[in-house]
Structure 1
Amino acid sequence: MLWHRPDVQLLCGVDEVGRGPLVGAVVTAAVILDPARPIAGLTDSKKLSARRREALAAQIKAQALCWALGRAEPAEIDELNILHATMLAMQRAVAALIIQPEWVMVDGNRCPPLPMPATAVIKGDSLVAEISAASILAKVARDAEMMELAQRYPQFGFAAHKGYPTAQHLAAISEHGILAEHRRSFKPVRLIAEQMR
Structure 2
Amino acid sequence: MGKWTIAEVKELLSHKQLTEKEVEELRNDTRKGVQKLLFQYEQQLRKKNTMLLKYQQMMEFEKRQYRLGNHFVAGIDEAGRGPLAGPVVAGCVVLHKDYYLEGLNDSKQLSKEKRESFFEQIATDALAYGTGIVTNEEIDRYNIFQATKMAMSRALKKLDMTPDHVLIDAVKLEGLPCSSESLIKGDQRSVSIAAASVIAKVTRDRMMQDLHEEFPMYDFKSNQGYGTKSHMEALEQFGPSPYHRRSFSPVAAAIKC
- Specify if TM > 0.5: yes
Percentage of identical aligned residues: 39
Q: Distance in 1 between matches of 2:143 and 2:243?
A: 15
User: What 5-or-longer segments of structure 1 have no aligned partner?
Assistant: none
* 1:29-62 C-alpha deviation (Å, 9 max, x unpaired): 0000012432222100000000000101100001
* 1:71-127 C-alpha deviation (Å, 9 max, x unpaired): 11111100100000000110000011001001100011x212122111111111011
For 2:223, the equivalent position in structure 1 comes to 161
Aligned residues: 192
For 1:43, the equivalent position in structure 2 comes to 105
Q: Which amino acid aligns with 1:96?
A: K
Q: TM-score by structure 1 length? A: 0.94
CA contact (8 A) 2:215 2:241 kept: no
Residue 101, structure 1, aligned to residue 154, structure 2: no
Residue 118, structure 1, aligned to residue 177, structure 2: no
Displacement after TM superposition at 1:6 (Å): 2.2
SS at match of 1:160: helix
Q: Distance in 2 between matches of 1:37 and 1:159?
A: 32
Q: Which amino acid aligns with 2:161?
A: I
Q: Which amino acid aligns with 2:112?
A: A
Q: Distance in 1 between matches of 2:220 and 2:87?
A: 14
SS at match of 1:189: helix
Q: 2:189 aligns with which of 127, 133, 155?
A: 127
Q: 2:208 aligns with which of 143, 146, 169?
A: 146
For 1:73, the equivalent position in structure 2 comes to 135
Q: Distance in 1 between matches of 2:191 and 2:107?
A: 11
Give the structure with the larger helix fraction.
Answer: 2
Question: Aligned Cα RMSD in Å?
Answer: 1.2
CA contact (8 A) 2:162 2:177 kept: no
Q: Distance in 1 between matches of 2:239 and 2:254?
A: 8
Superposed structure 1 runs of 4+ greater than 4 Å apart:
none
Q: Distance in 2 between matches of 1:9 and 1:81?
A: 35
User: What 5-or-longer segments of structure 2 have no aligned partner?
Assistant: 1-59
CA contact (8 A) 2:94 2:163 kept: yes
CA contact (8 A) 2:92 2:196 kept: yes
For 2:150, the equivalent position in structure 1 comes to 88
CA contact (8 A) 2:79 2:201 kept: yes
CA contact (8 A) 1:88 1:112 kept: no
SS at match of 1:41: coil
More relative contact order in 1 or in 2 (CA 8 Å, sep 6+)? 1
Q: Distance in 1 between matches of 2:153 and 2:200?
A: 14
Q: TM-score by structure 2 length? A: 0.72
